[in-house]
A and B are shown apart, each in its own frame.
Chain A
């Protein structure tokens, strides 16, 4: 069972992502911002990171950048949740090492479909 770290400062979005993925059979842990996520990612190995971009303390792009520097997260898929207007953010995210993005708003089915793609 693949493990996923879901990072979002918005509780409702975080719950939605986490419950959706749990219902699809993934092992999901939640983090409330980049700092929290970075600590959790170091405490155990996740197979995939799904993170919001705009968050307090540490934003999603910085989180991805920092995680990529860890040897055990070098090739792990990291997806960012972004709004449709965020073409610039997408590029910024890619430069930081993001694998891809999920465009908000999305529904649970789309989320699962994308995660299945990435995790195989």
Chain B
């Protein structure tokens, strides 16, 4: 039966124009910087519908084009990307371009391909920075090699004859609640080959405990025939996660020796997710290449794998067995301490006090060690991130015609898994900047009396509860005068302001700042550094630049070792205790009336070393009735910095510094502005952890 798709085209075109109009007005009303997710969602939905429809109705060029817009908008909606004027402009241009495309299709004219290609690349640059233009470059042996291998994944399965599959299918009790009927799957399996099924009824409970809506049955299925794994997998695609599933290929007759090891992998890949199943055969069955080529590829080949482990299997983690052993050992110690303590407690007399004390001391030690060991499990070497950079540097430097050597130092430094996942993008951006703007062309370097080959050093090390990642290049350094001139031109600073070196370098983190005279496709669209800083701050870290003209630039990123524990300063406001993240505290001071400055309608500020700092009265913001100090001079001002803004938190008292375990407030209660989470204090009470950037925003309102 065939349906004439053309009958839907007219409706689709009308819908497109409506959608485009909505997108356009949405884009025009969008404020830069601020993320109004509902407003973005309206725009996103427009792009999404056009993409879905055009794909279905066969306008693949429209679908491809809107896909990029959609991706861009999606990132904005999720807050992964800032809404910049540049992005809005590109999107508006794309709306125009799309309108032209659809009009042309509607009137059955040719689409202006050059215009589309131009607009598309503008979108891609906005989306990926330069990635889009870098990736498809012809130097990428390993990508070029890998794609066909990955795509032809079912091929090895077809090289030998399957006799069928044995499937152990144990649905969870809840399977039926998604409307999935096992009978449907059996029917489909029966269509593939001869199906024999035996049911396992042992899990059926007593009649009185039986829940009529639960699925207690399990099946052993055997389907015979020469069937591709994919077909079997596809049948169970919808119920993955709702059942225990083991699909085993029945003794397959290997056709050739070289693929004899494949059946073993089949079973393994099948029990995995389809995604990881694809990557594994790719790595195992190398394409026939000359030894020379293999040698050349070896360092590059190693690169995609860790990256995949990090991005795809984000819910699982590979742990060194030694770490597990330590953990088990720790738990053993803890049990011993516990039994010793309960012995003391059972027949307690005052003369056993010293025993009790030593027992408690042991308990404390073991708990601390156990905590450390557990944290340790989440730690991954930073090489997971670093390992992809040699390739990046190689590709980009050859594209730019520069000679650059990348040195990696401290790759084994361990850092929390979450940090590993989130630090990648900022690092890519920073390295690109160094490659593009930092290192000079070989001729310039020789003229400046430097070695022809530039060096970029990527270094990671631990320093006092933090991990420090440094990107050091020996390039031309930052030109302070140029940065200042640019900032004045962009109206970011006053013409007469005097700035320290550090303050000048800070300027490049401001939104919309770009010093490159000529924008290249590698970097320098001015949408980068502010996002980089924001990402790093979201991880609870900070970023600093030091640079010397003609000598080079060093960018240091300081990150907490883990995201689950935070170094905090507890402060008192009346009866309430709040935790201020230590990294955001600059100093804490008593102020005098003299330093105060009240501006009508603008709130209170105070003067600290020639800088006016707004004051946030914590007891007013969180409505704490019991606050002791109401006069600013009576309490303490904690000067904090969040997203480049400084402000003073007015509190009653400083209590102490401590490590706190972060508990999500959202998961247990709901999101509260100005609060990033909660923790439980030693006495069992709950203290809220302040979200400094959020607090600054809150007080600005």
For residue B41, which residue of chain A has the nearest CB?
Answer: A54
Q: Which residues of A contact B148 (CB under 8 A)?
A: none
0 or 1 for each of B40-83: is its CB under 8 Å from A? (1 = yes):
00101100110111011100000100000001000000000000
For residue B239, which residue of chain A has the nearest CB?
Answer: A100
For residue B273, which residue of chain A has the nearest CB?
Answer: A87
Judge if A24 is at the interface, Cβ distance under 8 Å. yes
Contact A13 B52 (CB under 8 A): yes
Within 8 A of B (CB), among A6-40: 9-13, 15-16, 19-20, 23-24
Compute how far the CA of A47 lies from the CA of B47 in the bound complex, rounded to whole angstroms. 31
Q: Which residues of A contact B238 (CB under 8 A)?
A: 94, 99-101
Q: Which residues of A contact B55 (CB under 8 A)?
A: 104-105
Q: Which residues of B contact A109 (CB under 8 A)?
A: 1
Judge if B412 is at the interface, Cβ distance under 8 Å. no
Contact B57 A12 (CB under 8 A): yes
Compute how far the CA of A39 lies from the CA of B15 in the bound complex, rounded to whole angstroms. 24
Judge if B322 is at the interface, Cβ distance under 8 Å. no
Stretch from B2-10, B102-110, B363-371, B391-399 forming part of the interface with A: B2-10
Pick the residue among A9, A75, A117, A120 that contacts B176 (CB under 8 A). A75
> Known interface pairs A54-B48, A94-B242, A105-B52. Does A23 touch B12 (Cβ–Cβ under 8 Å)?
no
Stretch from B177-185, B379-387, B553-561, B630-638 forming part of the interface with A: B177-185
Compute how far the CA of A13 lies from the CA of B14 in the bound complex, rounded to whole angstroms. 12
Contact A117 B48 (CB under 8 A): no
Compute how far the CA of A101 lies from the CA of B257 in the bound complex, rounded to whole angstroms. 39
Contact B178 A105 (CB under 8 A): no
Q: Which residues of B contact A112 (CB under 8 A)?
A: 1
The distance from the CB of A70 to the nearest CB of chain B, in whole angstroms, is 13
Q: Which residues of A contact B184 (CB under 8 A)?
A: 117-118, 120
Q: Which residues of B contact A91 (CB under 8 A)?
A: 241
Compute how far the CA of A48 lies from the CA of B188 in the bound complex, rounded to whole angstroms. 18
Q: Which residues of B contact A24 (CB under 8 A)?
A: 1
Contact B177 A74 (CB under 8 A): yes
Q: Which residues of B contact A81 (CB under 8 A)?
A: 52
> Known interface pairs A12-B57, A108-B3. Does A77 touch B49 (Cβ–Cβ under 8 Å)?
no
Judge if A3 is at the interface, Cβ distance under 8 Å. no
Judge if A83 is at the interface, Cβ distance under 8 Å. yes
Compute how far the CA of A1 lies from the CA of B604 in the bound complex, rounded to whole angstroms. 72
Compute how far the CA of A120 lies from the CA of B180 in the bound complex, rounded to whole angstroms. 12
Within 8 A of A (CB), among B226-277: 237-238, 241-242
Within 8 A of B (CB), among A41-75: 52, 54-56, 68, 74-75
The distance from the CB of A120 to the nearest CB of chain B, in whole angstroms, is 7
> Known interface pairs A97-B177, A100-B238. Does A106 touch B56 (Cβ–Cβ under 8 Å)?
yes
The distance from the CB of B46 to the nearest CB of chain A, in whole angstroms, is 10
Contact A99 B45 (CB under 8 A): no
Compute how far the CA of A105 lies from the CA of B677 in the bound complex, rounded to whole angstroms. 41
Q: Which of A10, A56, A81 counts the most chain B CB atoms within 10 A?
A: A10
Contact B178 A83 (CB under 8 A): no
Within 8 A of A (CB), among B5-23: 5, 7-9, 11-12, 14-15
Q: Which residues of B contact A99 (CB under 8 A)?
A: 178-180, 238
Contact A10 B52 (CB under 8 A): yes
> Known interface pairs A83-B51, A105-B63, A108-B2. Does A120 touch B187 (Cβ–Cβ under 8 Å)?
yes
| Tier of interface size on chain B | 35 or more
The distance from the CB of B416 to the nearest CB of chain A, in whole angstroms, is 22
Within 8 A of A (CB), among B535-559: none
The distance from the CB of A60 to the nearest CB of chain B, in whole angstroms, is 12
> Known interface pairs A11-B15, A54-B45. Does A16 touch B56 (Cβ–Cβ under 8 Å)?
yes
Contact A12 B3 (CB under 8 A): no
Within 8 A of A (CB), among B558-606: none
Judge if B203 is at the interface, Cβ distance under 8 Å. no
Judge if B481 is at the interface, Cβ distance under 8 Å. no
The distance from the CB of A65 to the nearest CB of chain B, in whole angstroms, is 12
Judge if A4 is at the interface, Cβ distance under 8 Å. no
Contact B53 A23 (CB under 8 A): no
Compute how far the CA of A52 lies from the CA of B49 in the bound complex, rounded to whole angstroms. 10
0 or 1 for each of A76-89: is its CB under 8 Å from B? (1 = yes):
11100101010000
Q: Which residues of B contact A5 (CB under 8 A)?
A: none
The distance from the CB of A34 to the nearest CB of chain B, in whole angstroms, is 13
Contact A16 B8 (CB under 8 A): yes
Q: Which residues of B contact A54 (CB under 8 A)?
A: 44-45, 48-49
Compute how far the CA of A16 lies from the CA of B7 in the bound complex, rounded to whole angstroms. 9
Within 8 A of A (CB), among B461-485: none
Contact B56 A107 (CB under 8 A): yes
Contact A11 B11 (CB under 8 A): yes
Compute how far the CA of A1 lies from the CA of B242 in the bound complex, rounded to whole angstroms. 30
Contact B180 A13 (CB under 8 A): no
Contact B48 A13 (CB under 8 A): no
Q: Which of B55, B180, B238 counts the most chain A CB atoms within 10 A?
A: B238
Compute how far the CA of A15 lies from the CA of B15 in the bound complex, rounded to whole angstroms. 12
Q: Which residues of A contact B242 (CB under 8 A)?
A: 94
Judge if B517 is at the interface, Cβ distance under 8 Å. no
Contact B179 A76 (CB under 8 A): yes
Judge if B213 is at the interface, Cβ distance under 8 Å. yes
The distance from the CB of A58 to the nearest CB of chain B, in whole angstroms, is 13
Q: Which residues of A contact B45 (CB under 8 A)?
A: 9, 54-56
Contact A15 B56 (CB under 8 A): no
The distance from the CB of B124 to the nearest CB of chain A, in whole angstroms, is 16
Q: Which residues of B contact A106 (CB under 8 A)?
A: 56
Q: Which residues of B contact A120 (CB under 8 A)?
A: 183-184, 187
Compute how far the CA of A19 lies from the CA of B56 in the bound complex, rounded to whole angstroms. 14
Compute how far the CA of A40 lies from the CA of B385 in the bound complex, rounded to whole angstroms. 51
Compute how far the CA of A15 lies from the CA of B53 in the bound complex, rounded to whole angstroms. 11
For residue A99, which residue of chain B has the nearest CB?
Answer: B179
Compute how far the CA of A23 lies from the CA of B512 in the bound complex, rounded to whole angstroms. 55
Compute how far the CA of A55 lies from the CA of B9 in the bound complex, rounded to whole angstroms. 21
Contact B3 A117 (CB under 8 A): no
Q: Which residues of B contact A75 (CB under 8 A)?
A: 176-177, 179, 181, 213
Contact A77 B241 (CB under 8 A): no
Contact B48 A83 (CB under 8 A): yes
Contact B56 A97 (CB under 8 A): no
Pick the residue among A11, A15, A78, A105 that contacts B179 (CB under 8 A). A78
Compute how far the CA of A89 lies from the CA of B53 in the bound complex, rounded to whole angstroms. 18
Compute how far the CA of A94 lies from the CA of B51 in the bound complex, rounded to whole angstroms. 23
Compute how far the CA of A62 lies from the CA of B176 in the bound complex, rounded to whole angstroms. 19
A sample of 12 more A-B contacts (CB under 8 A), given A9-B45, A83-B51, is A9-B49, A10-B49, A13-B53, A16-B8, A23-B1, A54-B49, A75-B179, A75-B213, A81-B52, A85-B71, A101-B238, A117-B188
In the complex, 17 of the A-B residue pairs with CB atoms within 8 angstroms, ordered by the A residue number, are: A10-B15, A11-B14, A11-B15, A12-B11, A13-B53, A16-B5, A74-B177, A75-B176, A85-B71, A94-B178, A97-B179, A98-B178, A99-B179, A99-B180, A100-B237, A108-B1, A108-B5
The 7 closest A-B pairs by CB, nearest first: A105-B55, A100-B238, A12-B12, A99-B179, A77-B179, A105-B56, A12-B11
Residues of B with Cβ closer than 8 Å to A?
1-3, 5, 7-9, 11-12, 14-15, 42, 44-45, 48-49, 51-53, 55-57, 63, 71, 176-181, 183-184, 187-188, 213, 237-238, 241-242
